[in-house]
Structure 1
Amino acid sequence: MKQSFRQSMAFTSYSDKTYYIYSIIQVEESINVVVMRNAMQIPSMYRVRTYDIKGSEHSRQVLKKNKKTNDIELKKITLKDIDFQNLEQQLHIPQQYRERLRKCLINDANFFSRIKLMDYSLLIIKMDWYSYSWHNPHIKEADIPNYFSSDLLCIPCINAVEKGIFITLAIIDYLQEWNAQKIIEKHTKKAIHVNIALNTSAQNPDDYAKRFIEKVANVII
């Protein structure tokens, strides 16, 4: 399994950078530990929104209907797919990034499918680099890409009301194998809701990748 993780780091483009992978060996079980890069690169106090997107709609809403949430509260919450649909609908980024970003996400999803991994998410973080640079005068907007290994990892928003807001992207939680526990989870949720067609988060790797491409790469990008 660890070899698959290393291959993932070598060939996928949006998987958040991994520094170390090691195992803690115990008598009854082993625990895999992964040390990863901080996707934001700046303090979390400058985070505006955080979304965890899987391409599923079942149990993928954090904000309650008919309840208003102010911007300060939203900064503290990790929002999900339906919240993104209601608040954003799609990424508001320059056109020249879209096709490159879509291609990267499709390649990543297909790679995870081949090595039988699922349950990953696209982490979308909207960061206020304008305020950060104001508090740190040595930081210029032109320098922001230098904090990342690719310009696709930190993309400027084009909304007029979002001056200085950049979107940071990373695929996270990609270490989950399709195993008996996940199979049971999928069918249990369908039984509880008496809905055999229920689009649960847990899907086999091929179906998970297909949904991720259809609902994430081809819709919100």
Structure 2
Amino acid sequence: MLKKKKKSKKKTFVRNGDDMPEVKKQKKRKAFKMKKKVFRASDPLLSVFMWGVHQSVEQLTHCTIPPLLLDTDFKAFSKISIENYNFNSDNMVGKFKFKEYCPLVFKNLRERFGVKEALFNQALSSCEPYYECQGDAVKEKERGHKYFYSKDNKFVVKIFHSEEVEFMHSILNVYYNYAVEKGGQTLLPQYLAMYKITVSNIEYHMIVMKNILAVNLRIHKKYDLKGSKVDRAATDKDPTLKDCDFLNGEMKIRVGEEKRKQILAMLESDVQFLSQLKIMDYSLLLGVHNVAKGLEEEREFNEENSSSDDLLDGEDSNNKDSDVPMDIEEEEDEVEDQIYENGYTYFSDESVDDKEVYCFGLIDVLTKYNATKRAAHTAKTMKHGSGAEISTVRPESYSKRFMEFMSNAFV
């Protein structure tokens, strides 16, 4: 049997007119380069965060959550220390530490809150997160207190103080049992992971939560509501609307009587839970999207970005109002799919003419009524009087006043 000749990969011979071999030059092939910058961010802290989340989720892939978590699971942690020095310095800092608190507990919580591991990993490690205020990032970093968000805006990461870490550890078991009891149906922050990152000998404590305002809609108004009236109005430094702005604007959360009862019952349960833990100073973060205004903004955007080629195809430029991108019903159907994923989103009642979408949930629930808060309560009482509705009051009084405000806010 004849054997086939192996073809040369380096050069090919071609006969010319004189039957002399001629070498045909091959094209030079460029080396393959990865276009994606893995775990690379403008801030070294974010690069380490992205790397750490990816490593953590990968390690937990083959870990089975036991049917019953033990006390040791609430004290467990995993820790990685890296010393690469100048190796791979383009992507990562040379020396850092990454620590994850209670891995099995938070993996269980992610499952109960409907967050898939693959999506969690992709959202926080495949794209660079962004800070809430780009211009104030340095100032916030110096204060040791700031937020940053995943690229898809579904998750928010809070950098907080070591005291809050200790307090979170002390209530994690109770918080977990409460989340299990409620089947994930709560307006409390949905905690998904907790880390400690050390970069350049500086420690950063982080906790990952679902973003309450994670909807693909523009938030036209944002409120921070505590049920207090003293110093509770928006300012130039803090443009977020507050209790006085809510009352002066005669704002109401119009969800209808049936939803109102459900929401207030959920809030009542959550607030009682916080009061039992001696927690106060929390607030309801409320985002409001006006449907009609959103449609108008989208229509204007489409008109501004429409090309002149559309007019050449026979479209009537004088009849733009008849070509609405989507009607109100279609937009409601689109947003309705996100309500169950997010858990914080509700529509206004069908009887309301001016349709709105509300996103709300409790935030800042790691402040305990301690000696510092008692001193602040005394100081504010002396300044504004015993009858003034100051924000710093005892947990029982705080929860009662908060629920009175909310019962009037929802209609």
Report the CA distance between 1:152 and its aligned residue: 6.5
8 A contact 1:145–1:151 mirrored in 2: no
Residue by residue over 1:78-129, the C-alpha shift from the partner in whole angstroms, topping out at 9 and shown as x without a partner, is 1111111111342122222110011011111100011111111011110246
Report the CA distance between 1:58 and its aligned residue: 1.0
**Structure 2 residue corresponding to 1:33, chosen from 193, 206, 219:** 206
> Any residues of structure 2 matched to 1:127-206 within 5 Å, and which?
127-128=289-290, 131=294, 140-149=331-340, 153-158=344-349, 159-160=352-353, 162-163=354-355, 165-193=356-384, 195-206=385-396
1:2 matched to 2:164? The reply is no
Distance 2:392 2:333 in 1: 41
SS at match of 2:232: coil
Report the CA distance between 1:5 and its aligned residue: 4.2
Distance 2:390 2:204 in 1: 27
**Structure 2 residue corresponding to 1:93, chosen from 237, 250, 255:** 255
1:215 matched to 2:405? The reply is yes
1:56 matched to 2:247? The reply is no
Report the CA distance between 1:17 and its aligned residue: 1.9
Report the CA distance between 1:185 and its aligned residue: 1.0
SS at match of 1:41: coil
> Any residues of structure 2 matched to 1:66-105 within 5 Å, and which?
77-105=239-267
1:109 matched to 2:271? The reply is yes
Distance 2:392 2:364 in 1: 13
Q: Which residue of 2 aligns with 1:72?
A: none
Distance 1:43 1:149 in 2: 14
Distance 1:41 1:20 in 2: 18
**Structure 2 residue corresponding to 1:123, chosen from 256, 265, 285:** 285
Q: Which amino acid aligns with 1:42?
A: V
How many corresponding residue pairs?
Answer: 202
8 A contact 2:212–2:342 mirrored in 1: no
Distance 1:204 1:41 in 2: 32
Distance 1:180 1:24 in 2: 29
TM-score normalised by structure 2 residue count: 0.43
Q: Structure 1 7/127 Cα, relative in aligned 2: closer, same or farther at 3 Å? A: farther
SS at match of 2:208: strand
Structure 2: runs of 5+ lacking an equivalent: 1-166, 303-324
8 A contact 1:5–1:175 mirrored in 2: no
Report the CA distance between 1:182 and its aligned residue: 0.9
Q: Which amino acid aligns with 1:115?
A: L
Distance 2:213 2:342 in 1: 14
Q: Structure 1 129/80 Cα, relative in aligned 2: closer, same or farther at 3 Å? A: same
Report the CA distance between 1:213 and its aligned residue: 1.6
Report the CA distance between 1:32 and its aligned residue: 4.7
1:14 matched to 2:187? The reply is yes
TM-score normalised by structure 1 residue count: 0.77
Structure 1: runs of 5+ lacking an equivalent: 65-75
